[in-house]
Chains A and B, each alone.
Chain A
Amino acid sequence: MNEMFTPKSLEKLRSEVERWESNEVAAFLKKQAERKEQFFTTGDFPVQRVYTAADMADTPLEDIGLPGRFPFTRGPYPTMYRSRVWTMRQIAGFGTGEDTNKRFKYLISQGQTGLSTDFDMPTLMGYDSDHPMSDGEVGREGVAVDTLADMEALFDGIDLEQISVSMTINPSAWILLAMYVALAEKRGLDLNKLSGTIQADILKEYMAQKEYIYPIAPSVRIVRDCISFSARNMKRYNPVNISGYHISEAGSSPLQEAAFTMANLIVYVEEVLKTGMTVDEFAPRLAFFYVSQADLFEEIAKFRALRRCYAKIMKERFGAKNPESMRLRFHCQTAAATLTKPQYQINIVRTAFQALAAVLGGCQSLHTNGYDEAFAIPTEDAMRMALRTQQIIAEETNVTNVIDPVGGSYYVESLTNEFETKIFEILAYVEEHGGTIKLIEEGWFQKQIADFSYETALRKQSGEKPVIGVNTMVEEDENQEIETHPYEPSTAARQIARTKKVRAERDNAKVAMLLDKLVEVASDETQNIMPVTVELVREGATMGDIVEKLKAVWGTYRETPVF
């Protein structure tokens, strides 16, 4: 029992609730039944009819705490949006570097405060644009980057010391990070002034998003190298973005999303600690990425519980001393899989509520999805609307003026506690069964996600999970005319021409020598792969050169699908 209660006052409150149930509630139920026998959150937490202070009686008040103070339940910073609202970071990427550069400049002109880059599938998977596997995919779902020259075009005229840049890329992340470093050095920038994030969260790829190249062990080593390189050379840069977003989009519950990121966190921290670094040398720059789904209070509770769990893990398990190593900072994106093709304009409303949950949950940066993303990648108009949604929350609703405004809600605090308890239960299960990597290899995480995903599909089918426009409020003769983002047919040719030009103009002997050095470094686990990769991209090596060379050393990964 916490100090807000005496045994007597708690007893009194509980009996008051009982009397209410048997008097007012019972009488009302006789007249009108409730809509359902039992109510649950989207992620299957049972919820009560009402919550009272009695439901918080066992919560130590210091677990709720204050913003900017351990365990950071109420926010990572003491002033939060009263000082500066979250970074509005709409992701963009299509075509060549020049094409995406134009979109970046448009978004900046519309008031966007951070950049976020989507790469095309070949770049994400480590293929050059002229590889046979890239056919049809070049610049389609994101921007194509093969060489440093592409990166130069992508950020042309953008001051990288002034704006933070996020790059959504995983198995080939270290090569993009190397290009970013090489670009900054070429421009004479101070690496310690660069701020931004590279996703580089490979474990959730095996679990959910399924972009991988190499087997798990060397892939985790690459993440380790990104973290330790950045900790030494790029003081303001987030070298990993531990992501629940894709786990959720692959179909998991909010609880699974939350717990699996903590499982992945533990692996990365343990790997970096093995290099001899102390936890406080790198943990302050670990960053996170979560989805914001439709169940408003469940999402807020999830974010709050995650901050608390992270703080406890870092302090109690890893012995962090610096409070900055214990405060979880996260980027948030609204849930793309909730967007519908039917009545697509209502996606704006869905996205607005999801964005509100992210803000009430204390996100550090936010991407709101475009209303047309159930058709194709978003148009400029859809991105402007999505950005305006964030601006309305920031400027018109006043929710930014009070920190953690739902803190103290009996319901939200209670749900926050339940999340915390269950997250630690899942972590204990993972440990008892051989750890995260073993369970990935056994398909355990994948099966958990597939099961919840299947359950969700059945609930949508039965109508138990309503989706407006899809299984309820359907408009039979809907006219679905919409202008979608076009794919420019000359993209691949333009892109491949530049890659060929780089190959023709570079010093091939030097590149070959560096590729041999890369193999040496890769074969010696004690070395860091970043410096030689920076040298390689500076000399005009393509992503494909580097990736293919290492396939010969490490092999590739193929999963056994479970469903």
Chain B
Amino acid sequence: MSQPIRVLLAKVGLDGHDRGIKIVARALRDAGMDVIYTGLHRSPEEVVIAAVQEDVDVLGVSLLSGVQMTVFPKIFELLQTNGADDMIVVAGGVMPDEDVAELKKMGVNEVLLQDTPPQTIIDTLTRLVEERGAR
């Protein structure tokens, strides 16, 4: 049997909207993934270090404060300096379409916005890990 997919879910920045990320955490856990949720108000540094230490397949970052264009460049820079640029990065939250396009260019593998059904999130992560192949 293959190893369960390991996921670190993080809230970065100052916003406390955790309704979505908790639904995601529970859905992924119920689907058999190993889920670590950092809790609120984390800095990009804390999140990337945790993701690298925990050796996760997927880093999921949720934001509903509009700071995605500040936060994600920092996360990618930190992933690179920590030798983890092959990590799958997924964004979630409320953000305008033009930012979604920019984030994908930047290297975010998927952006899952509000009202995405839990099963779609499970399927997306499973697919991304399969596409990446074994590490």
Contacts and interface: CB of A to CB of B under 8 A. Distances in A.
B4 interface: no
A27 to B, nearest CB: 40
Interface stretch (B12-20, B101-109, B124-132): B12-20
B14 to A, nearest CB: 4
Nearest to B113: A341
11 contacts: A136-B69, A210-B40, A376-B66, A454-B22, A457-B27, A457-B117, A471-B117, A558-B39, A561-B37, A563-B23, A563-B37
A480 interface: yes
B70 A374 contact: no
Contacts of B66: 137, 140-141, 376-377, 487
A122 interface: yes
A99 to B, nearest CB: 15
A211 B18 CA distance: 11
Contacts of B96: 375-376, 484
A140 B65 contact: yes
Nearest to A127: B14
A430 interface: no
Contacts of B118: 457-458, 461
A528 interface: no
Contact of A133 (B14, B26, B37): B14
B82 interface: no
B67 interface: yes
Interface in A309-366: 337, 340-341
Contacts of A563: 22-23, 25-26, 37
Contact of B65 (A121, A375, A453, A470): A121
Nearest to A484: B96
B97 A453 contact: no
Interface residues of A, number: 44
B114 interface: yes
A250 interface: yes
B67 A136 contact: yes
Q: Binding site of A, secondary structure by majority: helix, strand, loop or mixed?
A: loop
Contacts of B40: 210, 559, 561
A257 to B, nearest CB: 13
Contacts of A125: 14, 41
A467 interface: yes
Interface residues of B, number: 32
B19 A461 contact: no
Nearest to B99: A376
A209 B14 contact: no
A558 B71 CA distance: 21
A453 B70 contact: no
A135 B44 CA distance: 12
Contacts of B41: 125
Interface of A: 121-122, 124-125, 127, 133-137, 140-141, 205, 209-211, 249-251, 337, 340-341, 374-377, 450, 453-454, 457-458, 460-461, 467, 470-471, 480, 484, 487, 558-561, 563
B14 A341 contact: no
B70 A461 contact: no
A141 B113 CA distance: 18
Contacts of B37: 561, 563
A161 B18 CA distance: 38
Nearest to A461: B117
Given A340-B115, A458-B118, A559-B40, A209 B16 contact: yes
B119 interface: yes
A374 B93 CA distance: 10
A450 B26 contact: yes
Interface string B86-97: 000000001011
Given A140-B65, A341-B114, A450 B16 contact: no
Contact of A141 (B18, B39, B65, B70): B65
Contacts of A470: 115
B13 A136 contact: yes
Nearest to B25: A563
Contacts of B119: 461
Nearest to A462: B117
A121 B115 contact: no
A418 B97 CA distance: 44
5 shortest interchain CB distances as A-B pairs: A210-B16, A136-B70, A121-B14, A563-B22, A136-B67
A385 to B, nearest CB: 19
Given A137-B13, A137-B65, 5 more contacts: A135-B70, A251-B19, A374-B94, A450-B26, A561-B18
Contacts of B39: 558-561
A121 B64 CA distance: 11
B59 to A, nearest CB: 17
Contacts of A136: 13, 67, 69-71
Given A141-B66, A375-B94, A453 B22 contact: yes
